[in-house]
Amino acid sequence: MTKAFLFTLLVIYIFIMKNLIVLLALCALVMGCSERPDRIEKKLESYLQEDLKFMVAETMHASGNKNGLLDEPYYRVKDFRLFEGAAAEIYSAYAEVDFFIYKDIAMHEKRKYRYDAQSRHWDRYLKTLLFGKDSIQ
């Protein structure tokens, strides 16, 4: 084999390896930027549990007792959506949740959440008190 032939093989090998490394880096970047939907939902569940605990603690602190609260406060996810494509560049998911904590008052709190795709966390952006009991009970 001639030196020119070996040099040509070396150049081709380097070219292929460089492109392979670039391709692997791009795959890793794409995989790192997207998050699985089940993981997004799991993050929402833990966020909602924390919100519920905080609402109960805040109400108990304000009233001084637990008498007006349900024995088991709960929340109900009324709307959950995952976005794809261009719609998911900033926020990749949306949730609307009703929280029920009061025993004798026909009132609940509606909260809206969105999942920030860049920082990978849920953001609560609206809280509203509404009159009425849970429609499912």
Q: What is the mean pLDDT of each run of 10 residues along the chain (137 residues)?
A: 80 84 66 72 95 93 85 95 84 95 92 93 94 74
Residue 104 belongs to what domain range?
36-131
pTM of the predicted structure, to 2 decimals: 0.71
Q: Could you tell me if 29 and 43 lie in one domain?
A: no
pLDDT at 72: 94
Q: Could you tell me if 11 and 69 lie in one domain?
A: no
Answer whether residue 137 is part of any domain: no
Burial 57-80 (b: 16+ CB within 10 A, else e): eebeeeeeeeeebeeebebeeeee
